[in-house]
Amino acid sequence: MISTLLVVQILLTILIVITILLQKSSSIGLGAYSGSNESMFGAKGPAGFLSKATFALALLFVLNTLAMGYLYNEEKAHSVADTINTATSVPTTETNTSTK
């Protein structure tokens, strides 16, 4: 389960970076590559959609991080070292206790 959430976390990170880079800024950034999207997103363009998508992805990122932290701590509550049998792991030598 942790590995699945880790893959989701990586995908969310990539999607957040892409949505942030596509947003318009003073230097336009990668938003120049988005082309003319007025017909699809309305008169303002994709600004509103991208900001809402960034917020939604960021919220999913935080929730996924919290879930990963909770599941990781639940899984690591029991240590592998607790299952080691110490009576058989240390070799013992038999001593002769008979007196002459």
Structure tokens that stand for 57 in this block:
């992805």
Is 0.75 surpassed by the pTM of this model? no
Q: pLDDT-derived band of residue 32, with 50, 70 and 90 as boundaries?
A: low
For the chain, what is the radius of gyration of the CA atoms? 28
Domain span at residue 71? 45-75
Question: What is the distance, to the nearest Å, from the Cα of residue 87 to the centroid of all Cα atoms in its chain?
Answer: 40
Predicted confidence (pLDDT) per residue in 45-75, tens digit = 667 888 889 999 999 999 999 999 998 887 7
Q: Does residue 50 form part of some domain? A: yes
Q: Does residue 49 form part of some domain? A: yes
Number of domains in the chain: 1
Q: Does residue 56 form part of some domain? A: yes
